[in-house]
Every structure is written in structure tokens, then in C-alpha cells.
Amino acid sequence: MKPYFFGSSQQPLFGVYHPARSGSLRPGGIVICQPFGSEYLRAHRSLRELAHRLAEAGFPVLRFDYYGCGDSGGASETGHVERWLEDIVAAIEEVREASGTSKVALVGLRLGATLAALVGSQREDVDRLVLWEPIVSGEQYLGELAQRHRAFFEGRPKPRDLRESDPPQELLGFAVPPRLRETLARLDLRRLARRPARRILLLGNQADPIDRLSEHLTWLGARPDYEKISGARVWVREAELNQAVVPQTVLEKITAWFDESHA
Amino acid sequence: MNEKALLFGESKSLVGVVTDPEPGAGPGHRPGVIILNAGALHRVGPNRLHVRLARALAEAGFVVLRFDLSGIGDSRRRDGSESFARSAVQEGQQAMDFLSESRGIERFMLFGICSGADNGLQVAYRDLRVVGAVLIDGYNLPSLGRLLHFYRSRLLSARSWGRFLIGRSQTWSLFRSMASARKADRGAESAEETILPTRLELLALLRSIADRGVDLLLVYTGASPAYYNYRKLLHRSLRSWPSRERVRVEHFEDSDHLFTLLCNQRRLVDLVTAWAARVGPAP
């Protein structure tokens, strides 16, 4: 495992490269696309574990933080969707260079899944794509974050002079400035115009929007492997900031899918 | 300011990011700053607070290292049977060793929230290179008072009780932590590496560190049970310490434990940066 910065020296991105276990190299590097904000923090351990498992199964993997997120360069107020799409493209080039393989797969969780699907639909070279509980509608996502933000502060201390704006400029510990809000609100995977990858694994437990996404992907000719999962919402659990919970079943499913789709 | 990712420590398995100031930033000869994990969160800290802080301190001329203890974030689980409390102290020292070897820094300040504060206190106690420590919501000594204050709203809510009865609420975790804390408290007399001292032991520990000439900034949020438990005891005790000038206590009564609101994050970063600049100059 190698932690390092890549991209431009002025706006570096932090990544952790997991080389494939020696002697078992499979063709195709994998880029893991993280969720945003508090979901990113809560899912960190699970995605680290996933990267480790995929590398053990023979795939070179790059996990990375978007600009203005995690350890990457930039203040938290500077990130927005277009920039993060460019970051995924940079990570694709990076994993190719690091692994010496041309095939690329993307694995995304929550907003990371949405961004991965968008990048995939803009390129020809994304071979496989895992959409783990993707955010189908950016507008609904913002509403959900706002609701969780309000719920978090129920019965908790808050500065008396706090000026809350509408729409809120921060959600669950992270700035949501106008550009980020606008670019998030425009996201809608049901409007995806092209098939994002040759093979797709869709994992979700919010039946309705993900059902419709599955139908839309099928209409685009992608025929996703759609599996409903339950009880694995590690990115919103209340306790996992102190208890590192990892959804083993989901990680096994993803690793097995890569294994099989390469068989 | 520029940042480098690195692997360091005895088995080169600790993952960290070092933030170096631009040449000429600050007065020079600043102590190095080590940022310790808050609970099980990886090194970026709650709401990315550690990154914001590291960069603000680097702007003021400090070299800052944020890193993951073994088994947290990106650092590999440690081998062997050593307790977490003991290895956390050793790894805090390895972080200082790294900055000593690579940057020639010999004096250090520590920053930790929650368990990071607990580990920071133990490192400060054991290592004479530490000249300052920011300890936030350290030693969350549980008590009935904590339960009643912190969980007042939850105890009054029917939904909370529903979750409690099916064992899914934070209240359950609290009861469990109270039980284990009592156990740890009893063990504190015999186990050298325990990380949960009694309130009086904690005060004695703080005093011995301050008496050694270490500057301490103790921050308590409104959600800190420690704040309600020993606030009075701490203030009363401090009055008799010859080293009381070295100890600053700040209360963020309107902040949650993780500084979720941006205004509280900014306030904390400003406080720590200003405090560090005053304790930072070489003797």
C-alpha cells in the first residue's frame, strides 16, 4: 500500500495505491470513488477494506480523495461536481500508469457512485462499474442531508447567534457553497444519456429510485446485475465514528463480482 | 505550505501527512505539531478539522504531522499483544522521532480530540520533548450526571425508548461504556497502561505535566461529559497549582463533540493557532 499525492503540484490529490497481490495480477485497474462529507468519513474504513480485498484478489486499486476533500489539496469550500469528475478522470490515468494496465473499472459509493456513472458515460474505456447505493437524484440527496443535519442538532447545543440560511450553506459538518449546491442539484442518473460501462453491478436498498435507475440502465443497453442489499448503511450509522463497522457481505459481493466478471 | 504523504514508524506501517510551512513563514524554530486520531476517525479528523488545523498552523510556521495509529484509518493493524493504550503512546513518540530525524525538530506540541486527547496526555506525560498539548474533551469519565444531562432529550423521547428497548440506541452504548468504564476504573490502580484514570489521578497527571513546564490548552465542548463532571474540580484545583499560568481552559458550550458547525470549527482553529503561536517560540 502506498499513500501519495498525485495530479498538479498546486492542486494535489491524495491517493492510496494498493498493488495487486504479487503473482495474481488480473488485467484492469480499479478506481474507488468516495462519498462526500460526513458519509466519506463514515465509509472510509469500509472502502479501505474493499480496496484491500480487491488487491488481494489480483486487482491494482487506487483510492483517492476529491479536491477539497479528505487529505487532498484545497479548502473544503472549493469542491464542486465538475471538479470531482475531472479528479476521477485523473485517477483513471493514475491507476493506469501505476499498474501498467489499460482496462479500468470504477467502484463508487453514494455520491461517488453517481460521479463514477457520469464519468463512465462520458468515456468509452470504463469496462466495469460498481454502483453501491448511488445517489440517483441530487435534489433528493440535498434534501436528505438537510433533514439529517436538522435531526443531528435536535436536542444538541448550537450557538445562540448562529445565522442559519436557506438554503443552508453547511450540512453535517461540511460547507455546501452555492456552486457545489447547484452542481449537486443538477445530478440525475435517470437522465444519463449513454451506457456508463460494459458491465455494471448495482447494489442498493432504497428500492424505488434504484429500481428506476436499473430500468434506465437497461434501456441504455447496460443490463446491470442488480442486487438488493440491506442493513449496510455504514455511511449514516450513528455509532460508527467510534466503532469501525464494515459491511462484510457487501464487500464479499463486490469482490466476487469482479472475480466472476473476469472469469 | 506543502504536504507529503508518508509511511513511517518502526515497521513503516503508519500512514501520515506532513504539512511543511513555506520557507520564512512564522518566526522559525517552532515546535513540531503532532495531530492524533479522534476516536476511530482517520487522520483528516472530524469534519476534516485536522486538515484545516494543520494548514492553518503551517501558515503560521509550524511543521504539522497528522497520522493514523495502528489499526485506525490507513495504518496497518499492529502485530503482537501490546495494548492499544501502550502502542498509541509509542506511535505518538515515533511520530516525533520522524520529525526529529527528517526536520531536526526537538520540541513538540500535541493535539487530540476525545481519545486523541487521552493519548496526547499520556504521550505528554511520558516524553520530555513535549512542550505543549491541546486536549479536547479528553477522558470522558461517565457518570449518572452525564447520563441525565447529555441524554435528557433522548430519555424523554418515546422513539428513543423504542430504539433503546431493541438495543439500537446510543443510550445503550452509553450504558455499556459506563459498565466498561467502571471496570477500567477499578483496574486503574494496578494496570500501568490503563487509559482511564480517576478524576483525581487525571488532575495529578495534568499538574505534573504543567509543573514540568508544558503548556496545556484544555477545551471542553458542551457535549463533553468530562466538562460537567470535573469542571468545578478542575477550576478549584488549578488555583493551587504553581504552574496554573501554563494551563488554559476554554469552554465551547455551544459546540457538539465533533465541532460539526463550521463557525465552531473556525473558532477552534483560530484559538489553537493563536495559542500555539504564544507557546511556540524557542526558550
CA-based torsion, B106, B107, B111, B114: positive or negative: positive
Q: Which of B195, B228, B259 is the last residue of a domain?
A: B195
Identify the pLDDT of residue B44. Answer: 98
> From the list A158, A242, A243, which residue is nearest B254 (CB)?
A158
Residues B130 and B172 in one domain: no
CB within 8 Å: B15 and A174: no
Report whether pLDDT(B191) > 80. Answer: no
Query: How far apart are alpha carbons B191 and A131 in whole angstroms?
Result: 48
Identify the pLDDT of residue A163. Answer: 76
Select from B253, B225, B255 the least CA-distant residue to B148: B225
Residues in CB range of B88: below 8 A, 6 or more apart: B36, B69, B119, B122, B123, B195
Identify the pLDDT of residue A261. Answer: 73
Residues B116 and B159 in one domain: no
| B89-139 pLDDT tens trace | 999 999 999 999 999 999 999 999 999 999 999 999 999 999 999 999 987
- Shortest distance between the Cα of A194 and any Cα of chain B, in A, equals 35
Residues B20 and B103 in one domain: yes
Report whether pLDDT(B187) > 60. Answer: no
For chain B, the C-alpha Rg in angstroms (whole number) is 19
Query: How far apart are alpha carbons B39 and B50 in whole angstroms?
Result: 13
Encode chain A (263 residues) as per-residue pLDDT tens digits.
999 999 999 999 999 999 998 777 788 899 999 999 999 999 999 999 999 999 999 999 999 999 999 999 999 999 999 999 999 999 999 999 999 988 999 999 999 999 999 999 999 999 999 999 999 999 999 999 999 998 888 877 778 777 778 888 999 999 999 999 999 999 999 999 999 999 999 999 767 889 999 999 999 999 899 998 877 678 875 554 565 678 888 999 999 999 887 65
In chain A, what are the domain boundaries? Answer: 2-261
Residues B10 and B79 in one domain: yes
Residues B78 and B89 in one domain: yes
- Model confidence at B283, pLDDT cuts 50, 70, 90, reads low
Q: Which of B195, B213, B240 is the last residue of a domain?
A: B195
Q: How big is the A-B interface in CB pairs under 8 Å?
A: 106
| A214-227 pLDDT tens trace | 999 999 999 899 99
Residues B77 and B180 in one domain: no
Residues B150 and B223 in one domain: no
Residues B121 and B247 in one domain: yes
B36 with B119: CB under 8 angstroms? Answer: yes
- Model confidence at B164, pLDDT cuts 50, 70, 90, reads very low
Instruction: Provide the number of structural domains found in chain B.
Output: 2
Identify the pLDDT of residue B71. Answer: 93
Residues B175 and B241 in one domain: no
Q: Which residue has the higher pLDDT, B145 or A74?
A: A74
Identify the pLDDT of residue B170. Answer: 42
A2-261, CATH topology level: Rossmann fold (3.40.50)
CB atoms within 10 A of CB A228: 12
CB within 8 Å: B40 and A160: no
Predicted TM-score (pTM) of this structure: 0.89
Interface of B with A in 85-144 (CB under 8 A): none
Identify the pLDDT of residue B161. Answer: 42
Which residues span the domain enclosing B226? 2-140+198-279
Identify the pLDDT of residue B160. Answer: 45
Identify the pLDDT of residue B196. Answer: 65
User: Which residues on chain B are in Cβ contact (under 8 Å) with A159?
Assistant: 254-255, 261, 263-264
- Shortest distance between the Cα of A152 and any Cα of chain B, in A, equals 9
Identify the pLDDT of residue B182. Answer: 40
Please give the ipTM for the structure prediction.
0.95
Residues B81 and B91 in one domain: yes
CB within 8 Å: A157 and B73: no
Average pLDDT over residues B46-56: 98
Residues B16 and B105 in one domain: yes
Select from B283, B277, B276 the least CA-distant residue to B110: B276
Residues B239 and B148 in one domain: no
